[in-house]
Chain A
Amino acid sequence: MTGKVLHGPRDLDPFAGDLPRLDDALSRRIGADPENVQRGLAQLVLTIVELLRQLMERQALRRIDGDTLSEEQVERLGQTFMELDKRMAELREEFGLDEEDLNLNLGPLGNLL
């Protein structure tokens, strides 16, 4: 594998963080039993929720940049998004999905998120 590194820092450990994912991915991707079909539906729904969450978060960041919000409003927004983020993580966990699973490949347009 190191033969494939054309340029990199001496210490590759920080990049290896997601290597164990391969095994996980393999054990999850196989078989189309009813449970998997249900998971597929959850995946699609959560992808759309995640898209909306990210759009709203970006909108909030823009408004903060524009200085149109009071400190209290910023704090409340932040709390709300943090809470949403946590709920999404819980739902992902429940359906055995990764952050990366919540994305759609739109072909030539690239990825949705």
Chain B
Amino acid sequence: MIELYAITDNPGPPLPDLAPLGALSVDGLAAVYGPASSGEVTPEALWRHEEVVEALMEDRDLLPVRYGTCLEDEATAVRAVAERRADLAVALDQVRGAIELAVRVLLADERPAAAGPELSGAQYLCAKARSASERESAIRTLHEPLSILARASRQASPRAPSEPLRAAYLVDRPAVPAFTALVSRLQDANPRLRLLCTGPWPPYSFTES
């Protein structure tokens, strides 16, 4: 069994040597693979996978392959990639020269979740309305300016009322410093919010097709 890590251009720079990796050539694309890690899925295994993809990302464009994509052998992998070659080539073009940055925003004055049972119906709706308007304003004041510096962006549904924004941005590599500088300016301009920007990540949010 082999495990796929990423789809890249072929030929590409030499493969990093932090794992036994190989590249299968498929008509201008390469599928980077290694021996399938046997046994249980653990957070450590996930991080190892992530580490390989990130090492590859340093000096090449890639489509990260979903963790746990294992195939019988090299020939099966070549066939699987060849079948979707056109789609993969388009997807790779879309992320060429860019990486993913993640932005999360929390309300700084996070109150302990208003005690549930004693909440009146009107208070409940009022809290809902407030978090909806926090979301709208975060989109206007943060997401829209950040999107201008990005090639593409995706918003994820926020997980809590105290999290008005959670989004991923596909940013050209040379534009990363400008993007983080903007995050820092937006933080200064919005002391009520806490902004967290992480990356660079493989373009996980921009490779679905």
The reply to whether the CB of B41 lies closer than 8 angstroms to some CB of chain A is yes
Interface SS of chain B: helix, strand, loop or mixed?
A: mixed
- Of the listed residues A7, A64, A110, the one surrounded by the most CB atoms of chain B closer than 10 A to its CB is A7
Pair B120/A15 contact, Cβ less than 8 Å: no
**Interface residue tally for chain B (C-beta within 8 Å):** 39
Pair A105/B208 contact, Cβ less than 8 Å: yes
Say how far B167's CB is from chain A's closest CB, in angstroms: 11
The reply to whether the CB of A48 lies closer than 8 angstroms to some CB of chain B is no
The reply to whether the CB of A22 lies closer than 8 angstroms to some CB of chain B is yes
- Contact of A80 with B121 at beta-carbon distance under 8 Å, contacts A7-B195, A8-B197 already known: yes
Chain A residue numbers with a CB within 8 Å of B183 are 6-7
The reply to whether the CB of A68 lies closer than 8 angstroms to some CB of chain B is no
- Contact of A74 with B121 at beta-carbon distance under 8 Å, contacts A6-B197, A22-B43 already known: yes
Interface stretch among B30-38, B79-87, B149-157?
A: B149-157
The reply to whether the CB of A30 lies closer than 8 angstroms to some CB of chain B is yes
The reply to whether the CB of B10 lies closer than 8 angstroms to some CB of chain A is no
- B: residues with CB less than 8 A from A are 41-43, 46, 101, 104, 106, 110, 116, 119-125, 128-129, 132, 154-157, 159-160, 176, 180, 183-184, 187, 194-199, 201, 208-209
